[in-house]
Chains A and B, each alone.
Chain A
Amino acid sequence: MIEVTQLGKTYPGGVEAVKGVDFEVRAGEVFGLLGPNGAGKSTTIGMLTTTIEPTSGNARLAGFDVAKQPREARRVSSVVFQEPVVDRALTGRRNLILHARLWSVDPGAAARRIQNIVEVFGIGDVIDRPVASFSGGQVRRLEIARALISQPSVLFLDEPTVGLDTRIRYELLDLIDDLRDENDMTTLLTTHYLDEAERLCDRVAIISAGRIVALDSPRALLAGLGREVIELRVQHDPQQVLGLLRSHRIAGDDTFAVGSTLTIPLRNGTAGEAMAQISELNVATTAISTRPPTLDDVYLRLTGDRLAA
């Protein structure tokens, strides 16, 4: 449904935001694009939604080339933007109708869909009020509802929960999760909330400095870090500590550090044995703990400070 081949973007001035990425998203799949700020996620989404012109490679949505058939590509897709993108002076319903008309949805069908969707999204009570009076969560719900009015084959969710408080964020995740269960549309989600990706995505691509550095299912990516990790907060230079741990074969190449915290995937032995060995080395630590690996660990190992030689 989404085919991306060697897609690249170099902005005027020479900034290479995306450096030839390849991926394919299957029909009905929820695909996550993860990466830190400036990694190239938004530029990639921009190219797929035809608001940024690729400088190399190509991409297709439902078979339509985004550069050569941009209107057709836009017709089969909808976007929920990172920032609120609504006409705040208009009512919620008017915003939905506007989308329906621009996407050539039959007015009768649009009215039925709006009626249905606003109830499901819990904005039925406010839909005839100006959006300026909506809460942040209601605006987000409205935007997702709007994107669905045209029944897109491809839905882009660009950091859909950013800036929302925790409760609303979890409510929205439920909603998106339900969409995933109830619809056969293809969804491309960008986020830097790893729990979102873990929960919603069938597969994720981790993008760093304009390149995809990992692409697999969350489960497979987690498996790459073993069954358990030790998290070690050290008082001194983490590189020195890492060298020491490596020389004693406690840490492997996949150990990584962010700030003063070392994360050590366990390959052999138990956590207890490893912690005892660390204790014997008299490393000055402020905290030490063990836990199962998370997608955060995968993400940080691939995009954060890497101490592995």
Chain B
Amino acid sequence: MTTITATDRMPVRTRRRPGAGQDNLSALLTLARRRLALSASNPREIFVPLLTPLLFALVIAPALATLVRSAPGLDYRTYLAIGTAGLLVPLACMFAGLGVVVDRQSGARPELLTAPIPRGLIVFGNLLVAVLVSGLQLGALLLATYLRGAHFNATATGIGWFVAAAGCFAVAMYSIAEIMANRIPSQEEYVGAVPAVAIVPWFIAGSLFPISALPAGLTAIAKALPLTHVLALMRYGLLDRHGAGLRDIWGMTNTTVMAALSTAVVVAYAILFLVLALRVFRRTAVR
């Protein structure tokens, strides 16, 4: 007969535990490490989202730049390089959401749901990794475009605007991915829905050309998209200190105010989608 020994057995109920905050932080980091390990074990999740934007930024954007005459003081190659970031972040987040579908269908989600942790931490753990991976991919994209000849006009403040916009946008996009991953029944259907969410808005959000060049109806729609604000902020931060993209949205003269307003819009979207994601997660996790 086998013998199950518990050399250090102690009653679970009487175990001394750290404070709740420390406990939650530790659980969050554990969940994030798990998600990172799962993502790392599937390089496809990291490299596929990067491939298309990278190809666009390194091959198509420079080719287009040779055809299009830039506005004075504006390098179209760099303009497109930043525009490509607006494709990369949604794709990276959507692919991260695919991991949630797998977790739900055949992974360890039920185990996580029976863990003595606040369940929202499961979403936050995934979110943390999605934002981190998006950030790394964004860094790789910008480095590659810089090496390919893009000229960034970066200051500490400008980088701050860029990071704030990219970070909040990643939160918003991952939250949308989390909502979809919890609502859409199968991986196939999820993948089928990705282009509508991650790619279609990119065409009208000022990624390839200013939204002022769109028909009036589409311009109004573009102004409501978080990506439009994100791209305007990114360009304001890294390329165009005059904030042409922000002016197209707000029509004001004070660029700092416009940047603050666009940041507020992106933050609001991030909070809205995150709250919705947590709500949908709770509803699907507990019946």
Give the distance in Å from the alpha carbon of A84 to the alpha carbon of B11 in the complex. Answer: 28
Q: CB < 8 Å: which of A62, A79, A94, A101 contacts B111?
A: A79
Q: Report if B2 contacts A (CB, 8 A).
A: yes
* Nearest residue, chain A, Cβ from B9: A151
What is the CB-to-nearest-CB distance from B44 to chain A, in angstroms, rounded to a whole number? Answer: 12
A87 touches B5 (CB 8 A): no
B110 touches A104 (CB 8 A): no
Q: Which of B52-60, B114-122, B173-181, B263-271 contacts A (4 or more CB under 8 A)?
A: B114-122
Give the distance in Å from the alpha carbon of A150 to the alpha carbon of B11 in the complex. Answer: 10
B38 touches A90 (CB 8 A): yes
What mask results when residues 1 to 43 of chain B are scored 1 for a CB within 8 Å of chain A, else 0?
Answer: 1111111111111010110000100110011001001100110
Q: Which residues of A contact B7 (CB under 8 A)?
A: 112-113, 116
Given the known interface contacts A52-B286, A87-B38, the answer about A98 and B114 at a Cβ–Cβ threshold of 8 Å is: no
Given the known interface contacts A113-B6, A182-B4, the answer about A85 and B116 at a Cβ–Cβ threshold of 8 Å is: no
B30 touches A51 (CB 8 A): no
Q: CB < 8 Å: which of B1, B26, B34 contacts A98?
A: B34
Q: Which residues of B contact A51 (CB under 8 A)?
A: 110, 113-114, 285-287
What is the CB-to-nearest-CB distance from A107 to chain B, in angstroms, rounded to a whole number? Answer: 11
Given the known interface contacts A75-B12, A89-B41, the answer about A50 and B4 at a Cβ–Cβ threshold of 8 Å is: no
Centre residue among A72, A84, A87, A178 by max chain B CB count within 10 A: A87
Q: Which residues of A contact B116 (CB under 8 A)?
A: 71-72, 74-75, 102-104
Q: Report if B199 contacts A (CB, 8 A).
A: no
Q: Which residues of A contact B117 (CB under 8 A)?
A: 71, 102
Q: Report if A109 contacts B (CB, 8 A).
A: yes
B12 touches A151 (CB 8 A): yes
What is the CB-to-nearest-CB distance from B268 to chain A, in angstroms, rounded to a whole number? Answer: 31
B112 touches A113 (CB 8 A): no
Question: For residues 92 through 150 of chain A, which have their beta carbon under 8 Å from a beta carbon of chain B?
Answer: 94-95, 98-99, 101-104, 109, 112-113, 116-117, 120, 130, 146, 148, 150
Centre residue among B11, B13, B118 by max chain A CB count within 10 A: B13
B287 touches A53 (CB 8 A): yes
A116 touches B5 (CB 8 A): yes
B108 touches A95 (CB 8 A): yes
Q: Which residues of B contact A86 (CB under 8 A)?
A: 107-108, 111
Q: CB < 8 Å: which of A11, A94, A102 contacts B112?
A: A102
What is the CB-to-nearest-CB distance from A271 to chain B, in angstroms, rounded to a whole number? Answer: 37
Q: CB < 8 Å: which of B5, B11, B27 contacts A102?
A: B27
B113 touches A113 (CB 8 A): no
- How many of chain B's residues have a CB under 8 angstroms from any CB in A? 42
B11 touches A94 (CB 8 A): no
Question: For residues 154 through 194 of chain A, which have their beta carbon under 8 Å from a beta carbon of chain B?
Answer: 174-175, 178-179, 181-183
What is the CB-to-nearest-CB distance from A69 to chain B, in angstroms, rounded to a whole number? Answer: 10
What is the CB-to-nearest-CB distance from B158 to chain A, in angstroms, rounded to a whole number? Answer: 39
Give the distance in Å from the alpha carbon of A134 to the alpha carbon of B108 in the complex. Answer: 16
Q: CB < 8 Å: which of A50, A76, A81 contacts B12?
A: A76
Q: Give how many A-B residue pairs fall within 8 Å (CB-CB).
A: 125
Q: CB < 8 Å: which of A49, A112, A130 contacts B114?
A: A49
Q: Report if A255 contacts B (CB, 8 A).
A: no
Q: Report if A238 contacts B (CB, 8 A).
A: no
A88 touches B107 (CB 8 A): yes
Give the distance in Å from the alpha carbon of A179 to the alpha carbon of B4 in the complex. Answer: 7
Centre residue among B2, B9, B27, B41 by max chain A CB count within 10 A: B2
* Nearest residue, chain A, Cβ from B99: A89
B11 touches A153 (CB 8 A): yes
Q: Report if A243 contacts B (CB, 8 A).
A: no
Give the distance in Å from the alpha carbon of A72 to the alpha carbon of B31 in the complex. Answer: 19
B38 touches A182 (CB 8 A): no
* Nearest residue, chain B, Cβ from A177: B1
A87 touches B110 (CB 8 A): no
What is the CB-to-nearest-CB distance from A122 to chain B, in angstroms, rounded to a whole number? Answer: 8
A99 touches B111 (CB 8 A): yes
* Nearest residue, chain A, Cβ from B5: A116
Q: Which residues of B contact A175 (CB under 8 A)?
A: 2
* Nearest residue, chain B, Cβ from A179: B4
Q: Which residues of B contact A71 (CB under 8 A)?
A: 116-118
What is the CB-to-nearest-CB distance from B9 to chain A, in angstroms, rounded to a whole number? Answer: 6
Q: Report if A46 contacts B (CB, 8 A).
A: yes
Q: Report if A263 contacts B (CB, 8 A).
A: no
What is the CB-to-nearest-CB distance from B116 to chain A, in angstroms, rounded to a whole number? Answer: 4
Give the distance in Å from the alpha carbon of A178 to the alpha carbon of B30 in the complex. Answer: 32
Q: CB < 8 Å: which of B1, B4, B26, B42 contacts A104?
A: B26
A79 touches B5 (CB 8 A): no
What is the CB-to-nearest-CB distance from A86 to chain B, in angstroms, rounded to a whole number? Answer: 6
What is the CB-to-nearest-CB distance from A231 to chain B, in angstroms, rounded to a whole number? Answer: 35
Q: Which residues of A contact B5 (CB under 8 A)?
A: 116, 120, 182
What are 10 of the A-B contact pairs (CB < 8 Å)? A79-B111, A79-B114, A81-B110, A98-B30, A101-B27, A103-B115, A109-B8, A120-B2, A130-B41, A182-B4
Closest 4 CB pairs between A and B? A75-B116, A89-B41, A102-B115, A74-B116
Give 10 new A-B contacts, CB below 8 A, not counting A52-B286, A150-B12: A50-B114, A51-B114, A51-B286, A52-B287, A85-B110, A86-B108, A98-B108, A102-B30, A104-B26, A151-B12
